[in-house]
Each structure stands twice: as C-alpha cells, then as structure tokens.
Amino acid sequence: MPNLIKEAGRFLNIEQIPNGDLVLMLTDSGKQLVAIRAAERAQVVAELEQMRQSSQTCDVNTSPMTTGSTRCGHTLPCPHHTKLGDKLGDVDLLMELMEDYLEKPWAVVDGDDVGIPTAAPMITDDATVTEIGRLVVTGYVWWHAAFEAESYFDVLARDGRVTFQFKRGRKK
C-alpha cells in the first residue's frame, strides 16, 4: 500500500492507520448531521412500532394502472412503508457523510460492485462510472466488517468515529 491516506472533509475526516484500515472521524458538522439523522431514525422506529401495535393493514394501491384497485393488505408495516431492509438508510447516510469525497474518485460500493458476497457498507478510494452507468472499482476497498452486530451509523453516533477494515487491494 502506498502512503497512508489522510484527508479532511466537511462531515468526515478519513485517516488510514498503519495496518491499512481507515478511521472515519466526524467533524463538528458531521456530528450535527448524525444527530439530526439519529432523531429522524428514532422517529421512524417509533412510527413502525406504532404500526405494529395497531394491527392496521396497508391500503397502498398495488396496481394503479388498472381499473379498480388492488390493495396490499399486509399488516403494517410492510415494504411500502419502510426502508428497514437497508437498515433505515445506512448506505444513503454514508454517501451523505462522504459527499466531499464522492466528487473525487472515492465511492460507496456494495458487494456486487467488487465481487464480494456481503451486505456490509464498503468504500473505495478509486472508482469510475462507465458510459452505461456501471461502477468499476479500481482502488482499495474497505468495509464495516461488524455490520451484522452493529451499524456503522450507531458506532459513529456513539463514538464520533468508526473503523472500516481493509478488504482488498487494487485490481490487476
């Protein structure tokens, strides 16, 4: 690995430590943003719990292009009402926190982009988008390895910093 990375951004400072891992550290602006998103997240969780307790059914029209309507009918909350499948927007928040870096060759990537079967949030220091919109990762990749035990967002909100482990080197 070449020189250790050390970059400052609006919401995050990124520093590579000698073992190759990256430490993402919130700036003061980042702390404010995470506090806002944590409050929003708490509200969503409370609303979902209220839906669960109400035993209401979903009335989203699942076939709006046909005459008459077909209602979902699932007990709330259902996929029409929640983004829980992506941990209430963890990847969206990571992109928001890294907005300064995404203007450079940095990118937030998923397992499919790098051929690794995982749902862990990952970042790379070098990627490009092809003419057909495909992301090509050519840089180093780091991931939040403990994603199943604890969201990187929860760690950032609590500690103001989180470590993304080095996953792999450059493609040949």
Query: What residue segments make up the domains of the chain, in order of their start?
Result: 6-46+84-168
The length of the chain is 172
Residue 77 has what pLDDT? 55
Residue 92 has what pLDDT? 80
Residue 166 has what pLDDT? 92
Q: For residues 132-137, give the mean pLDDT.
A: 87
Higher pLDDT, 170 or 171: 170
Residue 57 has what pLDDT? 66
pLDDT, averaged across the chain: 79
Quick: pLDDT tens for 30-55.
999 999 988 888 887 777 777 777 76
Sheet holding 107-109, edge to edge: 6-8, 12-16, 22-26, 161-168, 141-143, 122-124, 107-109
Residue 78 has what pLDDT? 60
Copy the structure tokens of residue 11.
């919401």
Higher pLDDT, 146 or 162: 162
Q: For residues 113-140, give the mean pLDDT.
A: 87
- Give percent above pLDDT 90 in the chain: 30
Q: For residues 119-129, give the mean pLDDT.
A: 88
Residues 6+ apart with CB under 8 A from 7: 13, 14, 15, 101
Query: Cis before residue 77, ω within 30 degrees of 0?
Result: yes
Instruction: Classify the C-alpha dihedral 152-157-158-160 as positive or negative.
Output: positive
Q: Is the pLDDT of residue 2 over 80?
A: no
Copy the structure tokens of residue 67.
């005459």
Residue 89 has what pLDDT? 61
